[in-house]
């Protein structure tokens, strides 16, 4: 079997991949910033035995909200879009 011709991706394909990669990088940034802030806040708790469960809960809740929940994730992509739009002006 011989295939002839060429497949040329449209410009939209590259833009879609770039925007998807930028979105996930933005999600990772927001996730890490929130976890850092939560850990700093949790470290102020005087009860040592309470810190570890609180840290685990903070990671799970932040993971769900930032990376899993579609409503929050779509809002973050919207924020990223506004940031990118302001950069391009």
pTM, to two decimals: 0.65
- Would 68 be classed as within a structural domain? yes
Quick check: 3 and 31 in contact, CB under 8 A? Answer: no
Which residue numbers in the chain have pLDDT < 50?
Answer: 12-15, 17
Please state, in angstroms and rounded to a whole number, the distance separating the CA atoms of residues 67 and 61.
10
- Would 24 be classed as within a structural domain? no
Q: What is the pLDDT of residue 18?
A: 60
Q: What is the pLDDT of residue 41?
A: 92
Quick check: 58 and 39 in contact, CB under 8 A? Answer: yes
DSSP state of 46: S
Please state, in angstroms and rounded to a whole number, the distance separating the CA atoms of residues 15 and 45.
45
* Domain with 79 in it: 34-89
Number of domains in the chain: 1
């Amino acid at each position: 079997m011989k295939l002839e011709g060429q497949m040329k991706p449209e410009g939209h394909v590259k833009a879609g991949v770039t925007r998807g990669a930028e979105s996930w990088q933005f999600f990772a940034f927001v996730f890490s910033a929130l976890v850092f802030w939560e850990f700093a806040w949790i470290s102020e708790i005087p009860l040592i035995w309470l810190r570890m469960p609180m840290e685990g809960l903070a990671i799970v809740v932040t993971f769900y909200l930032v990376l899993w929940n579609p409503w929050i994730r779509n809002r973050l992509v919207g924020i990223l879009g506004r940031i990118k739009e302001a950069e391009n002006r």
